[in-house]
Amino acid sequence: MYPFDYFRPDSVSEALDLYRAAEERQWLAGGMTLLPAMKLRLSAPSALIDLAALEEMRGIEVDNGCAEIGAMTLHDTVSRSNLVRESIPALSALAGGIGDSQVRNRGTIGGSVSNSDPAADYPAAVLGLGATIRTTERTVAADDFFTGMFETCLRPGELLLSVRFPVPTRACYMKFPNPASRYAIAGVMVASFDDGVRVAVTGAGPFAFRVAEMENALTTDFDPRAIADIRIPVQNLNEDMHASPEYRSHLVTVMAQRAVDAAI
Amino acid sequence: MKVPVSLTVNGESVSADVDPRMLLVELLREELRLTGTHVGCDTSQCGCCVVHMNGRSVKSCSVLAVAADDAEVTTIEGLAVGDELHPMQQAFHEHHGLQCGFCTPGMIMSAIDLIDRNPNPSEAEIRHWLEGNLCRCTGYHNIVKAIEAAAAEIRSR
Ligand SMILES: Cc1cc2nc3c(=O)[nH]c(=O)nc-3n(C[C@H](O)[C@H](O)[C@H](O)COP(=O)(O)OP(=O)(O)OC[C@H]3O[C@@H](n4cnc5c(N)ncnc54)[C@H](O)[C@@H]3O)c2cc1C
Ligand code: FES
Ligand code: FES
């Protein structure tokens, strides 16, 4: 790691002031992505602003048909929360399947969502449940939030405060995990609402995306057979040592069918 | 810039001025000479470096020492009371839950966090919990047996 200065502000306003004062600074949440990247010198901020003391960014509330989760809430907390388990069990299961116990004891939803890692789990939930992202500057719909591989619409210095998930009538997330890291090689969130079904995919493409053809088919007939023949075109899918685009395309259909089957 | 940190390690107060880049595991091993906590990978994968911080198991190679300011940290050295091993240590010993022993401190710290939350875990729950702890020697079976036995022992106390 290159040297850096470290700050741990006590309030969001102090955090924003510190950000403006320093150069090449970066927010530190759980550090489970950022610190390994700094060790590899892929990232070299001159200052880290640690969000750990910002209690106002932690916590879970359910009201008006939505579950709102503060950015600094741990994956472990989401996976064990009775509020989440009762309102959106698919979300607590997703959080409980991220990485391993120690990653879940440090990693946060805000860090995961801000990072837009192509293989991360939360983006599928944010997009598949049609969540709203609240930041220090605005509220953004999930459909406008993820803009590319490791890219979101967040501007420098903008802090993600919370994610608000509408409670679906039924939902399920299924992933085919990388056997070593548990990151998604392909993961699919299927969620049913009164006005239709949403299907979002992570792991397969450069960033999370929806599958309109599956959504339409499932809105008409919520049955795994309704999507058995729908394949994602391979042109835009990821290719790496873990899986080919063709295999990922195949996995998306299988995971989506399993998710529907489990949600019924 | 050096930053002052004060924390409690195995029940004792500790203060140091640290470079912000220093990892918690470096503070433990190099400054405090608590070398029971191991570094297997330094890339957050292997779990050899697991310690407890404020009651949660964490990978100390992926936590900054400055971030542990004010925290309560427990390492493998903090478990035994005098010559009496912690029931988890005793169970690893009795059930042959180690061979070379390199992964063992992390395994034990991770397993104690599991039992704290779930005093009677199933075999599947134990295996799921240990996903972040790699062992190159044992094949895990005796580790799982040791954790089951320690859980039963702790429940009976
Ligand atoms: C071994 C291992 C296995 C893993 N497996 C999985 C897995 O299976 N699935 C999965 O989804 N993830 C996995 N992860 C990643 C993990 O979920 C991380 O916790 C997560 O991606 C980042 O969260 P963090 O809180 O650690 O953020 P950090 O590492 O602290 O930050 C990540 C980035 O987000 C920025 N950031 C953080 N918080 C905010 C905020 N509130 N507003 C704006 N920007 C912010 C930071 O500046 C940084 O650029 C794994 C990680 C490890 C080490
Ligand atoms: S040394 Fe920390 S996880 Fe391997
Ligand atoms: S006993 Fe050798 S690595 Fe586990």
> What is the CATH classification number for the domain harbouring A20?
3.30.43.10
When divided into structural domains, chain A yields a total of 2
For domain B3-78, the CATH class is alpha beta
Say if the Cβ atoms of A180 and B1 lie within 8 Å.
no
**A31 dihedral zone (left: phi>0; alpha: psi -120 to 50; beta):** left
> Do A24 and A87 fall within a single domain?
no
Q: How would you write the pLDDT of chain B (157 residues) with one tens digit per residue?
A: 799 999 999 999 999 999 999 999 999 999 999 999 999 999 999 999 999 999 999 999 999 999 999 999 999 999 999 999 999 999 999 999 999 999 999 999 999 999 999 999 999 999 999 999 999 999 999 999 999 999 999 999 8
**Domain housing A18:** 5-50
> Do A34 and A164 fall within a single domain?
no
Q: Are A261 and A224 in contact (CB under 8 A)?
A: yes
> Do A39 and A62 fall within a single domain?
no
Strands A184-193 and A25-28: unpaired
> Do A138 and A167 fall within a single domain?
yes
Taking CA atoms, what residue in B is nearest to A38?
A: B21
Residues of chain B with CATH 3.10.20.30: 3-78
> Do A173 and A235 fall within a single domain?
yes
What is the model's pLDDT at position A231? 96
For residue B21, list chain A residues with Cβ-Cβ distance below 8 A: 1-4
Which ipTM was obtained for this model? 0.96
The ligand that comes nearest to the alpha carbon of residue B137 is 3
> Do A137 and A245 fall within a single domain?
yes
For domain B87-156, the CATH class is mainly alpha
Q: Please state, as a whole number, how many other Cβ atoms lie within 10 Å of the Cβ of residue B49.
A: 28
What is the model's pLDDT at position A93? 98
Residues of chain B with CATH 1.10.150.120: 87-156
DSSP sequence for A179-216 = TTT--EEEEEEEEEETTEEEEEEESSSSS-EE-HHHHH
Q: How many CB pairs under 8 A join A and B?
A: 76
> Do A128 and A197 fall within a single domain?
yes
Site from A18, A102, A175 to mutate, B interface, most B CB atoms within 10 angstroms: A102
What is the model's pLDDT at position B46? 97
> Do A130 and A190 fall within a single domain?
yes
**Residues B46, B114: Cα–Cα separation, whole Å:** 17
Q: How would you write the pLDDT of chain A (264 residues) with one tens digit per residue?
A: 999 999 999 999 999 999 999 789 999 999 999 999 999 999 999 999 999 999 999 999 999 999 999 999 999 999 999 999 999 999 999 999 999 999 999 999 999 999 999 999 999 999 999 999 999 999 999 999 999 999 999 999 999 999 999 999 999 999 999 988 899 999 999 999 999 999 999 999 999 999 999 999 999 999 999 999 999 999 989 999 999 999 999 999 999 999 999 999
Ligand 1: which residue has its CA nearest to atom 4? Answer: A99
| Atom of ligand 1 at shortest range from CA of A28 | 30
